[in-house]
Amino acid sequence: MSLKCEVLSTGDEVLTGQIVDSNAAWLADRLGSLGLEVVRHLTVGDDRADLEGAFREIGERADVCVCTGGLGPTVDDLTTEIAARVAGCGLKLDQPALDRMQILWQARGRPMPENNRKQAMIPDASEVLPNPVGTAPGFTMKLGRAHFFFMPGVPSEMKKMFTEQVVPRLDKLRPEPSVFEVKVLRTHGLPESKVDEILDGLENQFPGVKLGFRAHFPEIQVKLTVKGADIASAKQVLKAASKEVFRRLGAYIFSEGQSIEEVAAELLTMEKAKISLAESCTGGLIGEMLTSVPGSSAYFDRSFVTYTNTAKHEVLGVSEAILNEHGAVSEACAKAMAEGARKISGSRFALSATGIAGPTGGSAQKPVGTVFIGLATPSATFVRKIFFPGSRTQVRQITAIAVLDMLRRHLLGLPVEASRFEALPLEETKG
């Protein structure tokens, strides 16, 4: 049995939506990695009755609760007072915490405001959790059957206190040495339902493995979790299961963690190759992605965002014949754009994208979501048509990942146009 754990966030700012609660996700991820079973996140505001209710109910049903917020110096900060009330105890001064706070204020060259003294008071029944970063200490105590860990809401202080003070105490509480191993495989090119279908039966094939899917448009992520008695056996099971996932999904997996632009960046850097771009419907998105990776000057040369036909002709040398006969959204234009960008820049590779992102501009022959993407290489130019009838943002995002994935496949020697799943062209990809 693993310990049942709840994550409790307190504070009006989180409750009213003024800030997004990233602490809860961070804590849940860490707790899961430690082998605790996170069963709930709860958020309540700076309200005496709501805090008391939350402490009492969690004390009845959980083994562990990590709680953030409400340890500050203002009248809104009620966590300590309410924890003491629920425990039926008073407050005590933690002298080392007070000393530390006074030193910090002296360093700022000002006397400590009197209301800050409140932050050094903790419940009688609790043990202090020193704060290595900020002023307010945390504390830990039992409320009901649950071990509560109270920490500040400021993410930098909370993370350090959790890592240094809470983790060692959780290790002692854990009843058995079960471990969790996790792997996330990122795929592009198949809809979630198809990925699900292809991986059918995997959990039965590898007992102890839990399979999960996450649709992060425009990609589908496959998550494998293994729970085992020791790290070595868990790792072994995970290795075997991921090998089977790779066997089944093949080239649709583009990474075990990196984004598609990081994968492309790494492959280009390894090849010592430069790339240039000819973008139309993506408006700069592909360049933005490729240059978001630190060190991108090693492989990124330039991008021509040619939005108008005139710009495609003047800048990239797309012929008027192509633009008049085939139009800007055509296989011929995508080919000419990629080849033009490659020739002008002198870079080894060039990518292109031209299409109709919508919401207007579509026609019966070329509806919104029709895009042609190109890859020019020293030996050949590849062009693919993709079709995804989604929003303007979605069409642009799927175009960018598709063209970067085409580059990845080429750099890895995988087929760019064909694939293991001929029946599933890219048009069916969805988040």
Residues 82-111 that bind its own copies (CB under 8 A): 104, 107-110
Q: Does 419 bind its own copies (CB under 8 A)?
A: no
Nearer to its own copies, 310 or 412 (CB): 310
Residue 364 in contact with its own copies, rule: CB under 8 A: no
Q: Three-state secondary structure along 47-62? A: CHHHHHHHHHHHHHHC
* CA–CA separation, 341 and 352 (whole Å): 8
Helix-helix angle 48-61:79-87, to 10 degrees: 50
What is the DSSP secondary structure assignment for residue 150, as one 8-state letter? E
Structure tokens of 11? 């504070």
Among 3, 10, 14, 139, binds its own copies (CB under 8 A): 14
Rounded to a whole number of angstroms, the minimum distance from the CB of residue 306 to its own copies is 5
**Considering only residues 113, 168, 207, 413, which one is a binding residue for its own copies as defined by CB under 8 A?**
113
Contact at 8 Å (CB) between 161 and 129? Answer: yes
189 and 426 in contact (C-beta within 8 Å)?
yes
The least distance separating its own copies from the CB of residue 161, rounded to whole angstroms, comes to 14
Residue with tokens 């309410």: 82
Q: Binding residue for its own copies (CB under 8 A) from 290, 332, 334, 376?
A: 290
Task: Output 286 or 383, the one with its CB closest to its own copies.
Answer: 286
**C-beta atoms surrounding 301 within 10 Å:** 19
Contacts of its own copies in 138-167 (CB under 8 A): 154, 156
Q: Which is nearer to its own copies, 97 or 126 (CB)?
A: 97
Q: In what order do the strands lie in the sheet with 349-355?
A: 275-279, 349-355, 370-376, 381-387
Cα 305 from Cα 254, distance rounded (Å): 26
- Residue whose CB is less far from its own copies, 126 or 241: 241
Q: Quote the tokens at residue 8.
A: 């409790």
Query: Total residues contacting its own copies (rule CB under 8 A)?
Result: 96
- For 208, the token pair is 């102890």
- Which of 233, 259, 291, 381 binds its own copies (CB under 8 A)? It is 291
* In the complex, least distance from residue 294 CB atom to its own copies, rounded to whole angstroms: 5
Nearer to its own copies, 126 or 342 (CB): 342
Residues from 30 through 69 that contact its own copies (CB under 8 A): 30, 32, 38-45, 50
Residue from 2, 52, 73, 164 binding its own copies (CB under 8 A): 73
CB of 407 to its own copies, least distance (A): 16
- Please identify which residue in 48, 90, 201, 215 interacts with its own copies, judged by CB under 8 A: 215
The residues near 245 (Cβ < 8 Å, ≥ 6 apart) are 185, 199, 202, 222, 224, 253
CB of 292 to its own copies, least distance (A): 7
Task: Judge residue 162's burial from the number of C-beta atoms within 10 Å of its C-beta, 0-12 exposed, 13-18 middle, 19 or more buried.
Answer: buried
Query: Segment near its own copies (CB under 8 A), from 29-37, 80-88, 92-100, 236-244?
Result: 29-37
According to CB under 8 A, which residues from 385 to 404 bind its own copies?
387, 389, 391-393, 396
Question: Which part of the chain contacts its own copies (CB under 8 A), choosing from 265-273, 305-313, 374-382, 413-421?
Answer: 305-313
Strands 370-376 and 179-187: unpaired
Q: Which helix (H) or strand (E) holds 26?
A: helix 22-33
Q: Which stretch binds its own copies (CB under 8 A): 23-31, 90-98, 230-238, 245-253?
A: 23-31
Task: Report in angstroms how near the CB of residue 427 gets to its own copies at its nearest.
Answer: 6
**Interacting residues with its own copies between 240 and 269 (CB under 8 A):** none
The CB-of-316 to its own copies minimum distance in angstroms stands at: 10
DSSP per residue, 84-126: HHHHT--EEE-HHHHHHHHHHHHHTTSPPPGGGGGGGEEETT-
Give Cα 378 distance to the centre of its chain. Answer: 35
Applying CB under 8 A, does 187 fall inside the site for its own copies? no
Which of the 8 DSSP states describes residue 218? T
Q: Which of 347, 355, 323, 346 is nearest to 336 (CA)?
A: 323
